[in-house]
Structure 1
Amino acid sequence: MARPTVRVDAVLVQAVIAGALSFAHLHDLAAAAGQDGWKAWAYPVSVDLLLVAAWRRLRTDGPSRLAWCWFVTALVASLGANVATAGLLDLDDVPAWLRILVAAWPALAFMGGTLLAHSVGDRVPVPPAPAAPAPAPDIEPEPVPVAEPEQAPVAAAEEAAALPATPAPPVPAALVDHARKVAADHQARTGFPIDTDTLRTRLGVPPQLADAIAAQLA
């Protein structure tokens, strides 16, 4: 059975070293500012946790002013402790303003962690989807007026007049009743009586039959 090989991740080792050094610097600064005992060890934990919480909020919910504000705050606190303990600050005589900042950090970190955990990100709201348009009412379209045929030459008219008149075709009573309803509906909508061409278009009958129906409706 082959033994599992242990691979050392250089990035992880570097992160552990950097975290340990930053942890120690924060502890030394808190102890120099009068926070002795377990309190000095709690300060670096508080700073690092706030930094991680803000970064996680940025990764999960996207960029927001709240997450960036607390991420920069925790980063400044960590970097400030690293720089202050590099010999630029006399740890045996810490100034009063630094003691005030160190003493105020727990309340500040508590407020930041609470806001990161329980507030909604200020992302741009998604506009609501447009409502579906209401269906158009079922309105019967107006009949298209039939263009009047051009007048035939006089000779053709005289020839047609000389022909014997064709008798009107018989009209069923049911078709006459239906034509009366169509005519009444047309006059109710338009205010004018229906003409023969419109009646023929609405009924779909030949011209001669439409003339016979119109004669019975008159």
Structure 2
Amino acid sequence: MTRSLRPDAVLVQAVIAGALSFAHLHDLAEAAGQSGWKAWAYPVSVDLLLVAAWRRLRTDGPSRLAWCWFLIALVASLGANVATAGLLDLNHVPAWLRILVAAWPALAFMGGTLLAHSPAPDPADDRAPVPPAPAAPALEPDSPPAADDATEQISTPAPAPALPQASPTVPPALVDHARKIATDHRARTGADIDSATLRARLGVPESLADQIVTQLA
């Protein structure tokens, strides 16, 4: 089955652009003193370096080496196109441009050699390190050993027993005075004096009044 040939607009545009760039590089090299076959070799060298750098970028991924030589070849191609657009007198090429054109073969050879023989970066180096998996927690037994309970009981200090509070000491003079108050209270009311009344009459704490009432009973 015969396939129909259809012109590709992108391919046609690429051929036209390549031919124009090729011609501009040839004209600039010839104006810089490179005549004959040497003038035709310059555009081939620039385009090959450009293609080699682009291929390195496509196959091995972005790298400083590939981008560096790709930009150098692109600047050389664009510079030739701009220089031959009437901005530069091709009949009187400046000395610095002659030096650049004469040094281009060595520069292109070094770039092509580095692109062809430099090792590609290992994709494994760009991967982030995988953190180690956390260790599984240890399973606790359903019932702890009896020895642990005994150890815990021994290590825990027992609370100190509370010391009994000492009873306040009642001076004998205060007891005699309280007895007089109690006798007077019994004579007036006919009942024994209680601790609240005695505390109010003497102005002493409740505990001391209770003890005095106990001694008067």
Query: What's the TM-score, normalizing by structure 1?
Result: 0.58
Q: Is the 8 A contact 1:51 1:70 kept in 2?
A: yes
Instruction: Give the gaps of 5 or more residues in structure 2.
Output: 152-217
Deviation at 1:64, TM superposition (A): 2.3
Deviation at 1:60, TM superposition (A): 2.1
Match of residue 9 from structure 2? 10
Distance 2:6 2:135 in 1: 65
For 1:14-33, list aligned pairs within 5 A: 14-33=13-32
Deviation at 1:14, TM superposition (A): 0.9
Deviation at 1:61, TM superposition (A): 2.3
Deviations 1:74-115 (A, max 9, x none): 111001101111121111111100011011111111122222
Quickly say closer, same or farther: Cα 1:135–1:50, change in 2 above 3 A.
same
Quickly say closer, same or farther: Cα 1:62–1:51, change in 2 above 3 A.
same
Match of residue 125 from structure 1? 126
Distance 2:122 2:82 in 1: 33
Please say which of residues 96-105 and 122-131 is displaced more in the overlay: 122-131
Deviation at 1:122, TM superposition (A): 8.7
Aligned length: 151
Quickly say closer, same or farther: Cα 1:68–1:122, change in 2 above 3 A.
farther
Match of residue 169 from structure 2? none
Query: What's the TM-score, normalizing by structure 2?
Result: 0.58
Match of residue 44 from structure 2? 45
Deviation at 1:135, TM superposition (A): 8.6
Residue type at the aligned position of 2:120: V
Deviations 1:43-66 (A, max 9, x none): 111111111111122222222222
CA RMSD of aligned residues (A): 3.1
Distance 2:44 2:122 in 1: 28
Q: Is the 8 A contact 2:60 2:120 kept in 1?
A: no
